[in-house]
């Protein structure tokens, strides 16, 4: 039976609609499966780090602006066996600098200060001539870009022994004013927290408010970052994570008390992965002017953020990334933003996952993000990073046994100088000198042509009053790099 033309058109339209709807539903189901597959892959990666005691905390991953993974791993509080979750608040250490730099540019746009202003203009309580001369040479721009010449806080006598537990901000500023500069301000770049600490005091001077109040008014309240703020030992803070370090005899311990005031605008904030994702999304919108975005995120800029290119998978064209990270006893943080694709990886930790492990976890997750939807779950490599084995050995209280395991089964593990160094450094910072020496010695043995590996071993030998062993290691480093003036001087001092 022939149908009238009008009926045929109606039938065709209905058929097209049904077919299109079926295609849309099939595509939606495919997307759901692809999203689920990606979630499973990411969860397998993060769980691997958690299972090997390398990571405890929360992770959030977004693809094209949509959250596809958000989960806690490990315990937020070991005393009460409370689990980590995306709503747990973690200290973020030097990630604070990305907020402080952004806040500073907002104040610059409000004509309250300038990149070219020297800091003596805002720190009248630096009264000694020596401190004033330094302040007269250091600008706001120098602080933001780590070009002040100030050393790291670790070199201040008494820093590791808690000398500043009861110090006020002004007292600490005067200590900073008395430090020798490493270079003429503006002539070089060297990371330090001290400049940002001073910047927080400057913000207080120009606004007549505390740094915390200014941060709240200018950034946190406008963006509804309700789970973000300045950490304080006096505040009762819901869902606060406890930070942990590996104990000298295995297990975990609480880090020693640290006066958070000494970190200030450089490293004193806490937040959640969920609030950091709000922060990430706001940076794409109109919260900041185009001029501020160009200053913070322009090519070659280093104002509180990393601005780099990163190849997410082998043979992939490098993409633009902007990020920040931090580490303090018991805590570690990491956020990387793929700004052209609007992917985001956020890692917050309360067992202080080290920088090498954070970089690896990020790279593992990035490899998943840049797969096609049809890609099957990544097969786990049978070989593990050596740092996984060493970390497990430390937690179990026998790092020497872990080293023996490696020697018996070397093909099971991938040797990485940076990974071993990071594990060793954390043991050094937590005061476990015996384990640190063992790990630095392991590194120097297996990377015998590395100047840094021998120098690092020499440094910790010297710190722990083993001058003869230090001398031998410095000599090995110099043999690999003849003419190194710093190494030559170390050797002369020890001979």
CATH code of residue 300:
3.40.710.10
Do 355 and 488 lie in one domain? The reply is: no
**pLDDT single digits (tens) 435-472:** 999 999 999 999 999 999 999 999 999 999 999 999 99
Do 137 and 188 lie in one domain? The reply is: yes
Residue 18 covered by a domain: no
Q: Given a cut of 70, is residue 4 above it in pLDDT? A: no
Do 365 and 388 lie in one domain? The reply is: no
- The predicted structure's pLDDT at residue 434: 94
- The predicted structure's pLDDT at residue 382: 63
**pLDDT single digits (tens) 285-317:** 999 999 999 999 987 778 999 999 998 877 788
In this prediction, residues 412-418 reach a mean pLDDT of: 93
Do 414 and 361 lie in one domain? The reply is: no
Do 295 and 182 lie in one domain? The reply is: yes
Task: Judge residue 262's burial from the number of C-beta atoms within 10 Å of its C-beta, 0-12 exposed, 13-18 middle, 19 or more buried.
Answer: buried
In this prediction, residues 415-419 reach a mean pLDDT of: 93
- The predicted structure's pLDDT at residue 124: 85
- Cβ-contact 158, 164 below 8 angstroms: yes
- The predicted structure's pLDDT at residue 14: 34
- Sorted by sequence, the CB contacts under 8 Å of residue 455 that are 6+ apart come out as 473, 474, 477, 487
Domain end, chosen from 344, 369, 394, is at 369
- The predicted structure's pLDDT at residue 32: 46
- Cα separation, 387 vs 29, whole angstroms: 40
Residue 60 covered by a domain: no
- Cα separation, 420 vs 439, whole angstroms: 7
- The predicted structure's pLDDT at residue 128: 81
pLDDT bracket for residue 246 (50, 70, 90): very high
Do 275 and 299 lie in one domain? The reply is: yes
Can you read off the two tokens belonging to residue 269? 């904030």
Do 356 and 406 lie in one domain? The reply is: no
Do 179 and 214 lie in one domain? The reply is: yes
pLDDT bracket for residue 148 (50, 70, 90): very high
Residues pairing with 271 in the sheet: 90
Domain end, chosen from 339, 369, 399, is at 369
In this prediction, residues 189-217 reach a mean pLDDT of: 96
Do 398 and 489 lie in one domain? The reply is: yes
Residue 300 covered by a domain: yes
- Sorted by sequence, the CB contacts under 8 Å of residue 267 that are 6+ apart come out as 93, 94, 96, 97, 193, 196, 326, 328
pLDDT bracket for residue 266 (50, 70, 90): very high
* Better-scored residue on pLDDT, 184 or 10: 184
pLDDT bracket for residue 488 (50, 70, 90): very high
**Phi, then psi, of 248 in degrees rounded to 5:** -65, -30
Q: Residue 429: give its domain's CATH number.
A: 1.25.40.10
Count CA atoms closer than 13 A to 144's CA, side-chain side: 26
Q: Around Cβ 258, how many Cβ atoms within 10 Å?
A: 16
pLDDT bracket for residue 31 (50, 70, 90): very low
Residue 7 covered by a domain: no
**pLDDT single digits (tens) 58-98:** 999 999 999 999 999 999 999 999 999 999 999 999 999 99
Q: Given a cut of 70, is residue 8 above it in pLDDT? A: no
Residue 2 covered by a domain: no
Can you read off the two tokens belonging to residue 59? 């992770």
- The predicted structure's pLDDT at residue 403: 96
C-alpha dist (Å) from residue 170 to 57, 124, 149? 34, 10, 20
In this prediction, residues 374-401 reach a mean pLDDT of: 78
Residue 306 covered by a domain: yes
Could you tell me which of 361, 292, 358 has the C-alpha nearest to residue 327?
358
Lowest mean pLDDT among 14-23, 51-60, 273-282: 14-23
Domain end, chosen from 369, 396, 420, is at 369
Domain with 448 in it: 384-494
As a whole-number percent, the residues of the chain with pLDDT over 90 amount to 72
- The predicted structure's pLDDT at residue 36: 80
Do 336 and 193 lie in one domain? The reply is: yes
Do 128 and 212 lie in one domain? The reply is: yes
Do 346 and 396 lie in one domain? The reply is: no
- Cβ-contact 118, 136 below 8 angstroms: yes
Residue 476 covered by a domain: yes
Q: Given a cut of 70, is residue 29 above it in pLDDT? A: no
- The predicted structure's pLDDT at residue 387: 94
Residue 195 covered by a domain: yes
- The predicted structure's pLDDT at residue 25: 43
Q: Count of domains in the chain?
A: 2
């Amino acid at each position: 039976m022939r149908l009238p033309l009008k009926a045929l058109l109606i039938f065709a339209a209905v058929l097209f609609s049904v077919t299109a709807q079926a295609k849309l539903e099939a595509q939606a189901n495919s997307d759901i499966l692809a999203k689920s597959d990606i979630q499973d892959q990411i969860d397998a990666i993060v769980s691997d780090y958690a299972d090997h005691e390398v990571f405890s905390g929360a992770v959030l991953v977004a693809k094209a602006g949509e959250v596809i993974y958000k989960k806690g791993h490990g315990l937020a509080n070991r005393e009460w066996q409370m689990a980590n979750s995306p709503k747990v608040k973690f200290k973020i250490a030097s990630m604070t600098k990305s907020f402080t730099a952004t806040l500073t540019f907002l104040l610059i746009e409000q004509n309250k200060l300038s990149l070219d202003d020297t800091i003596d203009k805002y720190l009248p309580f630096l009264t000694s001539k020596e401190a004033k001369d330094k302040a007269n040479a250091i600008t706001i721009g120098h602080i933001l870009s780590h070009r002040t010449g100030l050393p790291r806080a670790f070199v201040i006598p008494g820093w590791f022994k808690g000398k500043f537990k009861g110090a006020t901000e002004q007292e600490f500023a005067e200590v900073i004013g008395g430090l020798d500069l490493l270079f003429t301000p503006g002539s070089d770049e060297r990371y330090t927290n001290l400049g940002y600490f001073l910047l927080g005091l400057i913000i207080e001077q120009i606004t007549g408010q505390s740094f915390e109040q200014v941060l709240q008014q200018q950034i946190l309240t406008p963006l509804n970052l309700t789970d973000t703020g300045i950490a304080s030992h006096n505040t009762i803070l819901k869902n606060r994570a406890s930070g942990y370090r590996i104990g000298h005899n295995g297990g975990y311990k609480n880090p020693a008390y640290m006066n958070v005031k000494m970190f200030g605008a450089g490293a004193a904030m806490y937040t959640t992965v969920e609030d950091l994702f709000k922060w990430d999304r706001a940076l794409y919108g109109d919260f900041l002017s185009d001029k501020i975005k160009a200053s913070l995120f322009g090519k070659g800029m280093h104002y509180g953020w990393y601005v780099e290119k990163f190849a997410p998978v082998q043979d992939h064209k490098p993409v633009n990334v902007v990020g920040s990270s931090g580490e303090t006893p018991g805590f570690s943080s990491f956020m990387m933003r793929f700004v052209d694709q609007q992917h985001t990886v956020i890692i917050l930790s309360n067992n202080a996952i080290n920088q090498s492990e954070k970089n690896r976890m990020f790279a593992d997750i990035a490899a998943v993000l840049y797969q096609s939807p049809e890609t099957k779950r990544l097969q786990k490599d049978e070989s593990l990073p050596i740092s996984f084995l060493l970390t497990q050995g430390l937690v179990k209280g026998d790092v020497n046994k872990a080293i023996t395991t490696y020697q018996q089964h070397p093909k099971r593990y991938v040797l990485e100088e940076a990974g071993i160094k990071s594990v060793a450094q954390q043991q050094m910072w937590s005061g476990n000198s015996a384990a640190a020496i063992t790990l630095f010695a392991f590194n120097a043995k297996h990377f015998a042509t590395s100047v840094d590996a021998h120098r690092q071993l020499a440094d910790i030998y010297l710190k722990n009053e083993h001058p003869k062993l230090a001398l031998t290691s410095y000599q090995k480093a110099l043999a690999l790099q003849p003419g190194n003036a710093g190494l030559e001087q170390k050797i002369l001092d020890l001979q």
